[in-house]
Structure 1
Amino acid sequence: MAIDASIVRAFAPTGNLRASINLGNPILANRDAATGMPFGVSVDLAHALGERLGVPVELVVFDAAGKSVQAVSDEQADFGFFAVDPKRGESIAFTAPYVLIEGFYMVRDASPIKTNEAVDRTGIRVVVGKGSAYDLFLTRELQHAEIIRAPTSPTVVATFLEQNLEVAAGVKQQLESDAAKLTGLRLLDERFMVIRQAMGLPKSRGPEAASFLAAFVEEMKASGFVADALGRHKIAGASVAPREV
C-alpha cells in the first residue's frame, strides 16, 4: 500500500528515519559483542517501520532511557521506544504499548524489608536508573523513601552495592541477572509496577503521523511480529501487550 508523502516527510524530514534506541533496557535492545551493532525487539520494529515508509533507518543509540527520550523530544531522533509516562507525554505522542514489562525491588538477604509497602519508609534509600520509567513512577509514588539515581539502569545494582543502599529498583530480568552473578541478594515477591512499553514520536510531527504509528504498532502485535521478535531474541519475562482498537 502506498504511503502518503506527507506521512513520510513527517517521520523522516532529513531523508533518514532516525530511531532512538535505548540500550539501558536489555529486554528491548542490546549491543552485539562481536560486531558492536545494536539488536533486539526495538531494533527489529525500527527496521520494519523504515521498510513500511520506504526510507533508510538510522539508529541513534543511547545508554539510558532519559537520553533516548530527550533525543526524540528535541527532535534529534524521529521516533523511539519508551515506557508510557505522563511526564514524557508532554512532548511525545505515544502509541498503545507493544510489550509489558514488570518492575521489581531487590534487597539484601538480611534486609528486614519483606514487602513493597515496607519500602516507602523514612531512612530507606531506593536506587533507580536516572530518567527511567522507574525513576519517574517512584518519584511520584514514594512519599517517605529517598530516591538515589544511578547513571543508567544497568548500573543500578553496582550503585546499590557500592553505596550500601537499602533497595534497588528496576526491570525484573535485569535484577535477576545481576543477582545470579552475586550472592546475598533477593527480589521482593510482588512487582511494584507494570511498564507499558510503547513507540512514540514528537507531537510536533502531527496527528496523522501519530495515528499512522499507532496503527503500525497494532498491526505488529496482531501479526505476531512482536511475539516472534521476543522469541527470536530469547527474551523472557516480557509479554506482548493486548491489542487496543
Structure 2
Amino acid sequence: MARLLFSFALLVGLSGVACGQTAPEIAPSGKLRVGMIAITVLGGVAEPVARFIGQKFGVAVEPVMYPSPDAYLQSFGKDEWDIAIGPRVLAPADKADSTADLWVISLVYVAAPGKEFPDIASVDRTGVKIGTIRGAPSERVLAREIKAAEIVRIPLSPTIAADAAELLRSGKADVFGADSGVGYPAADALPGAKIVPGAFAMVRVAAALPKGRSAAAQAALATLVDEAKQSGVVQKAIDAKGLKGVNVATK
C-alpha cells in the first residue's frame, strides 16, 4: 500500500511539472477555453472536470457551451476552444487528438405509457415510432442500426427531458432513445413511462486537443485525464448530478 501511495504521489508530482511546461501551448491566452455540450450528462459533468484540469495547468477556465451536438461538432478546427470534452464520436480524427475515455453513458429507450417492450431488440419493428435527439450520438446509432421502425427527431433544448416526455405523451413516439441523462428524467416526468431493459449503445466521452499540438501537450492532457478518473474527480461530478447509467471509464 505504501508503495502504491508513493507511486501515485510521484505521478501527481510529475504531472504538475508536465502541466507547467505545456500550459503556454495548450492555453496560450492564459485561460483554458473548454468546449462542451450544454446538457447535464455532458457539460454538467465536464465543467468540474475542466476546472480540475485548469487548476493543474494553473489557469482560469472559460466554458464554451454549445447548444447542440451539431454545433459542438462544427466547432472543431475553428479555434473556438483550447480543449474540448464531449462524445468521442463527435471529435473528427482529422481535426483533433482525443485522450482515453473519461466516462461512458448508456443509451436507453423510454417506453410511452401502455407500450410494452420486453427488451431493446423488440423495439425495432414495423409500426413503432422511435423518438430521439437530432444530431446526438443516439441518433447516429439509431440511423445506422434501426431497420424497420420509424425515427422521429426533435432538437436538443434546455428542457429536453420534458420535450421527450411530451413526445411520448402525445403519441408521436412509442419510445424515446437517448442518453440516460435524458431517458431517466423523461421516464420520471411521465406517469406510466418506463425504461426498456438494457442499453442499445454506449457513448464514450473524452477530452480532445486541436490537431497539431505537440506530443508533450497530448501527454500532459492524457495524464490529467487519468488523474481525474483515479482521484475521484469524474465520479464526484457524476454523483453531484445524480446521474443514472453513467460510469467512469475503465480505460
TM-score after normalising by structure 1: 0.80
Q: What does residue 211 of structure 1 align with?
A: 219
Contact 1:27 1:235 survives alignment (8 Å): yes
Contact 2:41 2:243 survives alignment (8 Å): yes
CA separation of 1:67/1:236 partners in 2, compared to 1, >3 Å: closer, same or farther?
same
The whole-number CA distance in structure 2 between the counterparts of 1:162 and 1:10 is 51
The whole-number CA distance in structure 1 between the counterparts of 2:186 and 2:90 is 30
CA separation of 1:145/1:158 partners in 2, compared to 1, >3 Å: closer, same or farther?
same
Q: Per-residue deviation at 1:192?
A: 0.7
Q: Per-residue deviation at 1:173?
A: 4.0
Q: What does residue 22 of structure 1 align with?
A: 37
Identity of matched residues, %: 26
Q: Per-residue deviation at 1:163?
A: 6.4
Q: Per-residue deviation at 1:7?
A: 3.0
Q: Per-residue deviation at 1:142?
A: 2.0
Q: CA RMSD in A?
A: 2.7
Q: What does residue 43 of structure 1 align with?
A: 47
Q: Per-residue deviation at 1:113?
A: 3.6
Q: What does residue 143 of structure 1 align with?
A: 147
Contact 1:157 1:175 survives alignment (8 Å): no
Letter in 2 for 1:158: E
Is structure 2 residue 167 aligned with structure 1 residue 152? no
Contact 2:181 2:243 survives alignment (8 Å): no
Q: What does residue 122 of structure 2 align with?
A: 118
Which of residues 194, 202, 205 in structure 2 aligns to 1:197?
A: 205
CA separation of 1:163/1:6 partners in 2, compared to 1, >3 Å: closer, same or farther?
farther
Which of residues 16, 26, 31 in structure 2 aligns to 1:11?
A: 26
Contact 1:156 1:169 survives alignment (8 Å): no
Letter in 2 for 1:57: V
Larger radius of gyration: 2
Aligned residues: 232
Which of residues 59, 63, 88 in structure 1 aligns to 2:63?
A: 59
Q: What does residue 92 of structure 1 align with?
A: 96
SS of residue paired to 1:217:
helix
| Greater share of helix | 2
Which of residues 73, 78, 102 in structure 2 aligns to 1:74?
A: 78
CA separation of 1:76/1:158 partners in 2, compared to 1, >3 Å: closer, same or farther?
farther
CA separation of 1:106/1:150 partners in 2, compared to 1, >3 Å: closer, same or farther?
same
Letter in 2 for 1:105: Y
Q: Per-residue deviation at 1:168?
A: 0.7
Show structure 1 runs of 5+ residues with no match: 30-39
Contact 1:17 1:50 survives alignment (8 Å): yes
Show structure 2 runs of 5+ residues with no match: 1-15
TM-score after normalising by structure 2: 0.79
Contact 2:165 2:189 survives alignment (8 Å): no
SS of residue paired to 1:221:
helix
Q: Per-residue deviation at 1:101?
A: 1.6
The whole-number CA distance in structure 2 between the counterparts of 1:229 and 1:145 is 36
CA separation of 1:237/1:190 partners in 2, compared to 1, >3 Å: closer, same or farther?
closer
Contact 1:123 1:145 survives alignment (8 Å): yes
CA separation of 1:136/1:74 partners in 2, compared to 1, >3 Å: closer, same or farther?
farther
CA separation of 1:161/1:41 partners in 2, compared to 1, >3 Å: closer, same or farther?
same
